[in-house]
Structure 1
Amino acid sequence: MRSKRMCGVGLGVALVLSAAGCAAPEPGPPQNLSAPVARPPADGLTMLGDADPAAGAVDASAALFEASPVVVLAGSGFELSAASVAVALGVPALPADADPDVLSTELDRLGADHVVLLGEGPAETVLEGRTALHVEPTGPALEAALGVRFTERTVAADASAAEAVSGLDPASPELLVAESGSPASPTDAPVSEPLPELEPAERASGLVALAVDDSAGIAGLATARAAGAEVLILPADRPNPQASPEAIEFLAQHADARVVALGPELGAEPSLDWKIASARSGLQLPGGGQLLFPAHMMVAIYGTPGAPVLGVLGEQDLPASIERARRHAAAFDELTDKTVLPAFELIATVASSSAGSDKNYSNELDPAGMLEWAEAAGEAGMYAILDLQPGHTDFVSQAKLYEESLRLPWVGLALDPEWRLGPGEKHMVHIGSVGSAEVNAVQDYLTELVRAHDLPPKLLVLHQFRNDMIEDRAGIETDRPEVTVLIHADGQGSQPEKQATWQRLRTDAPDVAWGWKNFYDEDAPMLDPEQTMMVEPVPDLITYQ
């Protein structure tokens, strides 16, 4: 507790006694202020996504603080210094230019009888009945006014202000100063007295705040940090934690924490609750992150274990297949800046010329065998795709047979419409097809699976070499974050024929990823890796059969 009050001295410079001097009154009884009390939000995710940064800062205060006898108000240009003070004291930071009625209501709710003003103050109605301390944002002035010693840290002009605020440590108060310098405080600031001693803040534990790298939201970010939140900053143009290796590591380390998402960019991020849950698993693809494209390019060998006639994957045992897939992928490493991901495409259900006991003209291979190969792929740092040739049954029914494999985070699904028969049709006589409604039904199933098990997005490959193999392509949903749709061009033959098929399939196509297949025996000639990379656009998935 301070033993004397300043008399007749503004705090605009450093809160020192004037040269003329004045008699200090006798020390009075202690007037400590009660501790600010953080209010942990509900379990799970709390969205604070107001498009107006000032309103968003008020929302953050309302969500994260039960009470605070002091609030820091930041005038324009003083956001960094206000954030520094708020985190050091453990109190909310609010923009001084917020709506006066909203600001007054929040100050009343908090019980904030004292406000620390940095820069231009709010409307006079906000300050009525409160003690206002106008403070110059310098270390000596802040120490004199608040009893807190700050060390100064310059934030470079090209540095992230949000990152700087997120790194503030209440145990080691820092005063953030912009490289260009802070503007001067108003010269007509009224006389202020030092802040009565503030009891140590009761900060929250087990709290995480997600924010984007945007200086407009600094006040809300500072409030979250003052409340005790550990902060993760995401890129404003891609605020998906699944895309960031650092974000996945951070969220995995705080797997049980409550989460607050700050700012309109996160508020608009689809399915953010699932994306956070998925990131908390800690699983990452080779090269980092949980999203396949555009960071990765996949190179796969295709076929059925033990069946050489169906593709190169069946020409060797499991360990040798892993090595073969790796060799194919390694041939592309020097040809792209992307992480090249080796993969299996496993034919799980094989089209049959006979109806079989179930009358569906499709042989469903043992799910346990598929699981063995899928698990081995994951252990080897590879991806696995299960390919379905359903005959007279439907894709969803067959996919469910292999759900144990599809629950693995590194396993996707491929639909082969060539082998999806209509009534009365037979393989090798008719070329099958699938409609967009059935493709979307598969997406429904994968979406439910992904959400139920907090999995990363599933790859859904649609094989096609004729336009009529996928009916109503425009009706295929491509905006689900849980499913990454890829159209795979399966044309074979001469390279002019393959390029013509590629261009035809891409005409009026939905917004999807793209795959290309190299056939060892049927292409004339088969492209080598350098030539394959000259396909325009460069495929996201390259398969060898």
Structure 2
Amino acid sequence: MARLKSPVQRIIASTTTAVVVLSLVSCSADADREGAMGAAEVATEGASISESASDSPYREAHTENVARVVAEKFPSTPTVIGDAGYSGIAASKMFFDSSDTVVVSGSGIANELRAASIGVVAHAPVLHAPGTNDAEVIAEIDRLGASTVLLVGAALPNFDENEKATKIIQDNGTEEGLAHLTALQFETQNVDDVSDLARSTASLNADAQTLLVPSWESVTPMSNDAKVEAFPIHTKRDGEMAPIVIASPESGISAVATARAYGADIRFMDYPDPRLNSETMKMVAGLADRPLLALGEQFGTGELLAEKIERGEEITTELPGGGGLVFPGRRMVALYGHPSGPALGAMGEQPAAEAVARVTELAQQYQPFDDQPVIPAFEVIATVASEYPGEDGNYSNEFAEEDLLEYVDAITNAGGYAVLDLQPGRANFLEQAKRYENLLKRPNVGLALDPEWKIGPDEQPMMRVGSAEAAEINEVSQWLADLVAENKLPQKAFVLHQFQTQMLQNREQIDTSHPELAFVLHADGHGAPGDKYATWNMLREGLSPDFFMAWKNFYDEDFPTFTPQQTYEEIDPRPWFVSYQ
């Protein structure tokens, strides 16, 4: 797949009045409320939004969120609850000081959803024991001081109920068994896609008795006919005093169910970054320095989550298609090239206005295959590798910003996005990027680095496929992230081209932690479909999940050129950015 181009050329229910009864809670409701009332005064003070944010679209949400009274036992700032092995243990520790009852599921989505459905109704923590973490699950049952444990498709062979004075009840997996367990009638609700597991669990309501069932598998009923014992159903905990909880499709079923069993208000996001759109920002507005729980490590750290909330509230400029994130929320289809003409790609084959019309029509061909907006874009080559050293001796022609303006203005004025592409020759990526600082201060202009044309001090373009070290990439990303932050810009695309492993040296050391940037890996190899797929799969091996994948279609060097439908339906995962050359 090696190639050389011309040298000139990648969720919500709120519990009602909280009542604490029986022996389910280790500390009294009164103690929790007394502790929380001290925080209530602070929350009330913070409920008035700052004067600088008085015109924020999140003002009402901000005021409502910070006025929430939260028990002192919860962390005072945003906290991410990890969920190793999707066990639900960390969530159980966060929400439950103790519990008379626990529900434990075995392996299989059907068992997990059945356990979650029962746990929410019973107001009991839900743990997941697929057979690899029995010791940790047993330790959590001991910590909770549970007197009754319900096993749903689980075994826990090392749990000695006699020694621990704990009753074990085994669910038999049948509809009749569920009725005997709970003395309640459940209504079945199918879950049709894996991506909906956490969302469906987050929507469970203790008062609605819903049994979630995955459409692709079912619980295996037990063979014995023994009568199922009753599992205690307790009343609501003091969930109204829990922080707001956020979840996403990656959140674990047991963790989500445990939060709902406690009575926490779970707000579901399609992507674990509140800047996704205005609705997700409203979920967390005002909570950057206040109690907020996030279910799953996909949210990063509490500090990073707080930073994203702050940025989302401060920077309300939306990108084409809406929201403050480059991806997800939209996909892009781009023409690649240079304003000088057709030699460097499809974009320059026609004047700027005609190029906009062409790429807009191309993006529209993709739209029927995606529910997200498909945005037209240009990838504009700003510095062009050259076979001649030039006056500065760096084998790269750096074009002035004004030479690029016609095409950048045309696409951005049409509601699209522009990406400036650098082919540095012997130059440094950072020094070239700084030449285009004024253009990069625009909210809808991103940056691409092409290591193919990054050569050594004694080399010339086309002698070999170039490469760049992670350290140099990190210098540029740090500078660009700082530029975005200092100028209060929405997130910016940061694209790295690659079609050979050696092009990005020490790729695992590339720092993708900047919330100001959307990191995109652009697989721009050409050839037959089999070759392109092989390159695509090779580049994805060991790739940080922080990268969004991009794909390039060649008009003259692919045989055949993929159609829009093939590009979106046959490439896995579906590319977020597709360019044409």
TM-score by length of 1: 0.58
Per-residue deviation at 1:321?
A: 2.6
Per-residue deviation at 1:273?
A: 6.2
Matches within 5 A, 1:72-471: 72-74=102-104, 79-95=112-128, 102-113=136-147, 123-125=159-161, 128-129=164-165, 151-155=186-190, 162-170=198-206, 172-176=208-212, 183=221, 200-202=238-240, 204-212=242-250, 218-227=253-262, 228=264, 230=266, 232=268, 251-256=280-285, 258=292, 260-262=294-296, 277=308, 290-291=326-327, 296-300=332-336, 302-303=338-339, 321-322=352-353, 324-331=355-362, 333-334=364-365, 341-348=375-382, 355=391, 365-366=400-401, 374=408, 377-378=411-412, 380-388=414-422, 393-403=427-437, 405-406=439-440, 408=443, 410-415=445-450, 422=457, 435-437=466-468, 441-442=472-473, 444-446=475-477, 449-450=480-481, 455=491, 457-461=493-497
Q: Which of the pair has more CA radius of gyration?
A: 1
1:507 and 1:116 map into 2 onto residues whose CA distance is 49
2:449 and 2:199 map into 1 onto residues whose CA distance is 41
Per-residue deviation at 1:399?
A: 0.5
1:145 and 1:534 map into 2 onto residues whose CA distance is 55
Compared CA separation, residues 167 and 326, structure 1 to 2 (3 A): same
Matching residue's letter, 2:127 = L
Matching residue's letter, 2:103 = L
> Secondary structure of the equivalent of 1:73?
strand
Per-residue deviation at 1:343?
A: 2.5
1:424 and 1:95 map into 2 onto residues whose CA distance is 58
2:495 and 2:358 map into 1 onto residues whose CA distance is 22
Preserved contact between residue 103 and residue 126 of structure 1 (Cα < 8 Å): no
Greater relative contact order (CA < 8 Å, ≥ 6 in sequence):
2
Per-residue deviation at 1:277?
A: 4.6
Seq. identity, % = 22
Per-residue deviation at 1:398?
A: 1.5
1:104 and 1:360 map into 2 onto residues whose CA distance is 65
Per-residue deviation at 1:432?
A: 8.5
Compared CA separation, residues 252 and 345, structure 1 to 2 (3 A): same
1:205 and 1:395 map into 2 onto residues whose CA distance is 45
Alpha-carbon RMSD: 6.3
Compared CA separation, residues 186 and 224, structure 1 to 2 (3 A): farther
More off after superposition, 84-93 vs 103-112: 103-112
1:120 and 1:346 map into 2 onto residues whose CA distance is 57
1:540 and 1:420 map into 2 onto residues whose CA distance is 26
Compared CA separation, residues 207 and 41, structure 1 to 2 (3 A): farther
Aligned to 1:8: none
Compared CA separation, residues 384 and 262, structure 1 to 2 (3 A): same
Compared CA separation, residues 321 and 177, structure 1 to 2 (3 A): closer
Compared CA separation, residues 328 and 45, structure 1 to 2 (3 A): same
Matching residue's letter, 1:411 = G
CA deviation map 1:179-199 (0-9, x unaligned): 868847976679779667665
1:517 and 1:222 map into 2 onto residues whose CA distance is 48
CA deviation map 1:511-538 (0-9, x unaligned): 38564677xxxxxxxx699985589x97
CA deviation map 1:225-265 (0-9, x unaligned): 3342526487xxxxx758xx9976764443456453448xx
Compared CA separation, residues 419 and 58, structure 1 to 2 (3 A): closer
Compared CA separation, residues 78 and 246, structure 1 to 2 (3 A): farther
Alignment gaps of 5+ in structure 2: 1-20, 33-70, 513-517, 541-549, 568-576
Matching residue's letter, 2:248 = L
CA deviation map 1:472-507 (0-9, x unaligned): 647483896654344768xxxxxxxx989xx99x99
TM-score by length of 2: 0.55
CA deviation map 1:180-223 (0-9, x unaligned): 6884797667977966766544552321123449xxx5333311
Preserved contact between residue 478 and residue 510 of structure 1 (Cα < 8 Å): no
1:67 and 1:419 map into 2 onto residues whose CA distance is 57
1:449 and 1:143 map into 2 onto residues whose CA distance is 59
CA deviation map 1:66-110 (0-9, x unaligned): 423333324657644432232235431135787665445424433
Per-residue deviation at 1:441?
A: 1.4
Matching residue's letter, 1:223 = T
Matching residue's letter, 2:539 = D
2:214 and 2:342 map into 1 onto residues whose CA distance is 66
CA deviation map 1:451-489 (0-9, x unaligned): 975836522357x9xxxxx99647483896654344768
Compared CA separation, residues 387 and 499, structure 1 to 2 (3 A): same
1:85 and 1:190 map into 2 onto residues whose CA distance is 14
> Secondary structure of the equivalent of 2:376?
strand
Aligned to 1:60: 91
Matching residue's letter, 2:203 = G
Alignment gaps of 5+ in structure 1: 1-29, 235-239, 465-469, 490-497, 519-526
| Pair 1:50 & 2:84 matched | yes
